[in-house]
Each structure stands twice: as structure tokens, then as C-alpha cells.
Structure 1
Amino acid sequence: MDSFIYTSLPARVVFGVGTTASLPQEVHALGITKALVLATPQQVSEAQALADLLGDAAAGIFAEAEMHTPVDVTERALAAFAALGADGIVSIGGGSTVGLGKAIALRTDAPQVVLPTSYAGSEMTPLLGQTEGGKKTTLRSLKVLPETVIYDVNYTLTLPPRMTVTSGMNAIAHAVETLYAQEANPVLSLMAEDGIAKMTRALDRVLVAPSDIAARSDALYGAWLCAVCLGAGGVALHHKLCHVLGGSFNLPHAETHTIILPHALAYNAPEIPQAMAAMRRATGAEKPAKALFRIAQSAGVPTALKDLGMPQDGIARAVEITLENPYFNPRAFERDALLQLLENAWHGNEPDA
């Protein structure tokens, strides 16, 4: 066996159905006496329910989280955090809310408890992407890693099927890149393959029966495995392109990942035979990129960047930004090939890999 390095990241995970009830105890265990509860405007009612559950341990609610973690929103949240005398963070939601909590923790070192309501996976990573001046930058710091994550399957029961698929594809992307990232190792590869298998199979079941507890549990478990992969592993071309497209063109996060993933996998396929073998086992398909594309297609979610409002004349700009600071990738970043990749993604062409 080849040599490798595996780093296990510190985090407490509470997984199950109805686990939100443990929030007061988890907050107390971290020494939090006044928690600022974070959410998006769409999830303010869920935030209020958590504040009610916490009682005197809730400092207040800040429900202005936005996708791609704009710095100006973070500054407003920091002002609220200070004004309310908060000493900890409780985040409920998907990547937008979790990102805001991380941004506050980066600047205050406040402990965090996260209750995910999607499969985004940000809660298990020491990564933070922030947007300012039309560009998204990413940093890695243990200061942003949440101390406790409460996975409550109940929150995912009402996740609409289409959103389930895009959020699930976002999760799958984390594991796919772990299979061939610079930090790839056999431990993470086991988690990645199982996470992809659990999620792809669960998505088919959820589309048929959205309230199926067993299917939702498998999906959330798969999402957790994929998130661990992202946190302890690394990223490559797929995430680089999604960061560029999201930050520069304000495209929705999960939908962008859903569209780009099959094309990025097809781009790298010739250089990653072992990862492609794992993908075939996980998806049960001879052509995994095509299989991922068809999952999105069958769910009726966007499969073309043009459907997200991406201008076709922005493709060249996206490639230039990508080439300014390329991530590690098993296949070199080739300008013409990247232009073709984004053209295919813009049109929604089915990959053949």
C-alpha cells in the first residue's frame, strides 16, 4: 500500500430522528450562555423555534444569511452578535447559514452548534468561502469548524424533491473529488464511495416517497459521509469552477454543483482510473458522469448553466478567473478544454464518461 496522511477533524455528531431536543444540553456542554441563532429569511420560523427551546440561553435571532457568505452580511451579523452580548452560535439551515456562522467564528472564535436542514455538508468542514467585490475566496481554518453538529432527519422530510436532488448532488460532489484530490487516501476513499452509493440510491427513493424516513435517513447519513470527505480531504477542478461561477455570476450554489459535476468528472476521467472504478461501483453505472447527469435530468432540475441565468459570453471570463489561481487537479487545466467543458455545461449537453 502507498504511504498516505489522514487527519481526523474534531467534531461531535448527534445523528437521528428528533435529535433537536438535545440542543439545550449541547449548547450548555460548550459553555455557551447566550447563543445567537442564525438562519436565512426563509427559515426564521425554525430559528424562532430553536430560540424558544433555548430559552434564556438564546441571545436573539439574526435571519439574514445569504448564499456565498457576502462580507457585508457578515459585518451586520457581527454587529448583532456584539450588541446582544452573544458568546456562541447556533446555525440552522443549509450552506448559506452555516457559512455565516463560520464567518462569525473566524472573527470571534465563538463556539458553534449547527443543525443542517439540507445535504450541503459545510458543517463538517474547516472551509469558508466568502464573497466580496464580485469574487469568492476560500480559506481553511480550524477556527471555523463547528464544535457540534446535530443531524435531525425530521428537518429533511419537508425538503422539496427537486431541492433534495440538487442538495444531494452538491454532497456527492464533495465525495467525488475526494477520490482523486491531492489529499486522497484509502480511509477517505471508503467513506467517499459509501457516501456516493448511499446518496445516489436514496435520491431515487426520495423522489418516489419524499417523506420516507428510512430513505431520508440514508440520504442524510450519505451527506454526512460526503461532508467528512470534503472536510478531511481536498478539492479540485469541480469546486474551483463552482466557486468561480457562484462568486462571479451569483449563481445558486447547489444547482451550480449539480450542473458542473458530471462535466468536471468527464474532464478528469482519462486521468483517474481508480476513482472511476469506485464511481462505477457506487453508482452502479458503467458511465458515472452520464449517470449523475441523468439523476438531475430525471428529477427535472436544471442541467444547463443557461437555465441559471449564466450569460454565454461569461464563459471566457470564468475560464480566465479559473486559470488565475488553479487548484490541484489530476488533469492539467487546459484553456481550450475548459472552454469546451463550460460550453457543454452552458448548453446542458450530456457527458459521455
Structure 2
Amino acid sequence: MSLTFTHETLPQRVIFAAGQTADRLPAEVARLGSRPMVITTRGEVLPGARHYRDVVMHVPVDVAERAREATAAEGADVLVSVGGGSATGLAKAIALTTGLPIVAVPTTYAGSEATNVWGMTDNGRKNTGADPRVLPRTVLYDAALTLGLPTELGVASGLNALAHCVDSMWAPRADPINQALAIEGARALSSGLPEIVRQPRNLQGHEQTLYGAHLAAVAFASAGSGLHHKICHVLGGMFNLPHAQTHAVVLPYVMELNSPGIPDRLTDALGPGGLARLRADVGAPRALRDHGFRETDIPAAVDAILPVVPDGNPVPVTADNLTELLRRAWAGEEPK
């Protein structure tokens, strides 16, 4: 069968350098500007630079506006995000209106640093979009910075990355190139995540997981949001659920629904026992009710998700099967 598709690759400088942030970051920032604004909740990352620490999950619009005002007052000409998806997301919100370049130093496996996707929350609704201005110009991956990540958060963040791989199988712009990246990302995550649980101070496990998370995010940026991410964006925005844990809980139920569309090569990449074995090995989050979602919230969530279900999902999504998916995820029932 002939191949017919269009694939776009995002322009980005990517550096893997474990334990070298202090040495490498100043030069990477200097390539893009001279007055950096550092977005982080960590300690002093870049000596002499202004550090902005009002970082909030899901990037509320008022938080974004305050950060933009502070950046303008500082006269900053380059943004540096150091942290998880919330720090990266806030830097993107600033770049969206200012066009300032971003140097991203991720400390979780969220993957936002490798995408041109932005997201902000307004009155309980998470709005997302894609814009070339928010794609970080440079990403510095330093696995040493993930060694202090609590294991349970690292697991949830890594499963969030795995969800990028899964969604890339059937998202609106899925193609053979981003599917290949997603398969390799799934393989790396499936080998790296159990290692960071067994040996939290083992740098190699964290490097494999960061590598897998990057590939997953690159695939996702190309393929777009599939059913899984549409569900989780609604849950996060409407009910203020924690981002990584929500993705980790919902993933097996989306795979259960879409099982007819799961390619053998994804199953092979997940290894013996598949996702069920991986979740058991790493002690994955189990139920949405453990993270603030109530059973009575399900009807409102269904009403909000149905209009944004992407075309091309392997299985038709209805109010009934979506309600059942959310009910099982709420209860933490064992996926089939």
C-alpha cells in the first residue's frame, strides 16, 4: 500500500546533558537574549536573573496576565522555564502575547517543552491552542534534576507521557512518522519508569524516562489531541484535578474503549503484560475519586467532553460509553 500523508517537524534545539544545567544554561540563554525572566518554583537557577514564582496548575488567565505584566516591567527579552508542565505552561502563556523566546529546563516528564501547544484555564474551562510562538527554542534535559522528584509524582508524570504516545496512534493528524516516534517513546518509558521506582537515585532510569517523554511529546505535537487528552483537559479545567494523576488514571480506560484500534507494535513496545503490568510495577494512581472527582460530576463532564471528541477515534464515542468510562475511572475499577 502506498504512503500518502503530510508531516510537519517543529524546529527546536534539544540538549541532553545530565548534571550540566549550571554550566550549559547561561550560554543557551545568551544565544537568545540578555535579560532573562526565570519562571520557576525552585531556588535560584540563574544567578543575577529575575525569578518569577507565581506558578499555578492549569495556568489560570489571571495568573498569566500578572506574569506578562511582570515580564514587561522587567524588560525581559528571553524566558527561562525550570520545572514541570505548570512552569512551562506559564512561560508559554507569556510567549503567546509577547513572542519572547523560551529556554525550557523540564524537571518532570510532562512533555510540554517539546510542543507548540498552549493551555490556559478561564472560569473552569481549559482552553488550548497551537502557536509557533510558544514552542521553546531550546530544551535542556538534565536527568539529574529529576532525581529529587517524588516517586509517585514521577510515575504519574511518566504515565502522562505514555498517554501522549497512545493518543498519537489515532489523533487527528496521526501519521507513520509520529507513530514511529510514539512507539519508541512507549518502549523507553516502559523500561525507564520501573527503574525509577526500583532505584530512585539511578540516573539511567531517569534518562530513559526523559528520552521517552521527549519522543512522546514530539509525536503528540505532530499528531494532535486524541480522545484521552480531550477528556483530561475537561476534567482538569472544570474540576481542577491534578494534571499528571488525571492522565495516569484515565489512560487504561481510554485504551480499553479504543482497544480495536491499538496496533500490535504499541502492545509490543509496552512489553509482556502491557499497560496493566506496567501500572502494577510502578504503583500507578488508580481512581479519579482519590483526586477530587465526584461521581456526581460525571454528567457535567460528559456534556463538556462530547462536543470536543475528535473525528477519527477508533470507536464511536457516545454519552453512554463515555459515562461508563468516567464511572469506571472514578471508581478505579480494574480495566479489562
For the aligned pair, the TM-score class normalised by the smaller chain equals over 0.9
Task: Look up the match of 2:291.
Answer: 308
The answer to whether structure 1 residue 283 and structure 2 residue 270 are counterparts is yes
The 5 Å alignment of 1:256-271 reads: 256-270=246-260
- Equivalent of residue 29 in structure 1, options 7, 28, 31: 31
Supply the distance in 2 between the matched residues of 1:301 and 1:2 (Cα, whole angstroms): 38
* Contact in 2 for aligned 1:123/1:146 (Cα 8 Å): yes
Q: Which runs of 5+ in 1 are unaligned?
A: none
The structural deviation recorded for 1:298 is 4.3
Is the contact made by 2:194 and 2:282 (CA closer than 8 Å) also made in structure 1? no
1:51 aligned to 2:41? Answer: no
Corresponding residue number in structure 2 for 1:16: 17
Q: How far apart, in 2, do the equivalents of 1:117 and 1:220 lie?
A: 9
Match of 1:190 among 180, 185, 190: 180
Distance 2:212 2:282 in 1: 19
Q: Find 2:56's aligned residue among 66, 75, 86.
A: 66
Alpha-carbon distance, 1:213 to partner: 1.3
| Contact 1:19/1:151 (8 A) holds in 2 | no
**Partner residue in 2 for 1:340:** 324
Q: Are the aligned partners of 1:92 and 1:117 in contact in 2 as well (CA < 8 Å)?
A: yes
Aligned to 1:320: 303
The Cα offsets for residues 130-174 of structure 1, whole Å up to 9 and x where unpaired, read as 100111011111111111100011101111211111010000000
1:106-131 CA distance string (max 9 Å, x none): 01000100000000000000101110
The answer to whether the 8 Å contact 1:19/1:150 transfers is no
2 CA distance for matches of 1:231 and 1:182? 11
What secondary structure sits across from 2:37 in the alignment? strand
| C-alpha distance in 1 between matches for 2:132 and 2:75 | 24
Find the aligned partners of 1:312 and 1:214 in 2 and give their Cα distance.
40
TM-score by length of 2: 0.96
Check the 8 A contact 2:190/2:271 in 1, yes or no: no
- 1:3 deviates by 0.7
Match of 1:135 among 111, 125, 134: 125
Corresponding residue SS for 1:9: coil
**By how many angstroms is 1:297 displaced?**
4.4
Contact kept? 2:287, 2:331, Cα under 8 Å: yes
Whether contact under 8 Å (1:297, 1:303) holds in the other structure is no
Matches of 2:96 and 2:73 in 1, distance apart? 18
Q: How many residues align?
A: 333
Aligned mates of 1:331, 1:113 — CA distance in 2 = 39
Instruction: Quote the sequence identity (%).
Output: 42
1:282-310 per-residue CA deviation (whole Å, 9 max, x = no partner) reads 11246x4xx24x53344444210111110
* Structure 2 letter corresponding to 1:13: V
Letter in 1 for 2:154: T
- Choose 313-322 or 294-303, whichever is displaced more: 294-303
- Residue pair 1:130, 1:138 contacting (<8 A) in 2 also: yes
Instruction: Please show how residues 207-246 of structure 1 align to structure 2 within 5 Å.
Output: 207-246=197-236
With over 3 angstroms needed to count, the CA separation of the structure-2 counterparts of 1:276 and 1:350, relative to structure 1, is: farther
Q: 2: CA distance between counterparts of 1:84 and 1:209?
A: 42
In the other structure, the counterpart of 2:94 is 104
1:162 aligned partner? 152
1:18 shift after superposition: 2.3
Please list the CA deviations of residues 18-59 of structure 1 after superposition, one character each: whole Å capped at 9, or x if unmatched.
Answer: 2312111111111x110110013xx2x1xx1x221xx3xx2x
Matched residue of 1:51: which SS? coil
Q: Is the 8 A contact 2:193 2:282 kept in 1?
A: no
Deviations 1:304-327 (A, max 9, x none): 011111011000100000113322
Matched letter for residue 193 of structure 2:
L
CA separation in 2, counterparts of 1:83 and 1:203?
Answer: 42
Which residues of structure 2 form unaligned runs of 5+? none
Please give the alpha-carbon distance, in whole angstroms, between the structure 2 residues aligned to 1:196 and 1:63: 33
